[in-house]
Amino acid sequence: MREEEKIFAGVLFAPGDQSLRDSKLKTHNLCSEYNLTFEDETERRAKLIAKIFASFGEGGFIQGPIFIHYGTHTTIGSHFFGNFNLTIQDDARVEIGNHCSFGPNVTIVTPVHPMLPDERRGIMDKDGNVKHMCYAKPVMIGNDCWLGANVVVCPGVTIGDNCVIGAGSVVVKDIPANSFAAGNPCRVIRELTEADSMIYKPEILGNNTVGK
């Protein structure tokens, strides 16, 4: 089994494997190039984004700078907005739905390292070679989610559709759809309902209208 196949199988893999290092280096260099672009270089940015991610839906925008690990393990739906310093360490798969918005410094991580120090230093593979190893758990984020500034999404987490995650939250467990959740560790505060509509905040809504 190749090292990348081990990642998706959820078993220990060696991140220092040359094929994985080559894949990460390619993406890291593309991210560095993206981070040197100007915001109005839309065509150049679009070409780079197409090379970085497995798929990136229409109508999306990423402010930059960005820090993506593999990129090819991440799919992002349509009308995505990512603010400054988007970081995705996508050893395992990362799936982000449509119409999601991320505040500054949002981080998604998928790798998990051994808890014991001796095992972090090295584990023997089947041939008796001692290697640095870890494993990874996929992250899934549904449609129409808003993640506030400095949110960290940890390995193996699923966030359902229509969720709001408060700024500074560390999401370590699944969050059900239609939830407002916040905190460290992140927990559901309450369900989002029609009562949260801007209709009921006329002093903020001003002369604007809710709806299409």
Q: Catalytic positions, please?
A: 113
Burial 159-198, CB ≥16 within 10 A → b, else e: bbbbbbbbebbebeeebebbbbbbeeebeeeeebeeeeee
**Upstream peptide bond of 65 is cis (omega within 30 degrees of 0):** yes
**Upstream peptide bond of 185 is cis (omega within 30 degrees of 0):** yes
Nearest residue to 33 (alpha-carbon basis) of 52, 57, 16: 52
Q: Are 33 and 82 in contact (CB under 8 A)?
A: no
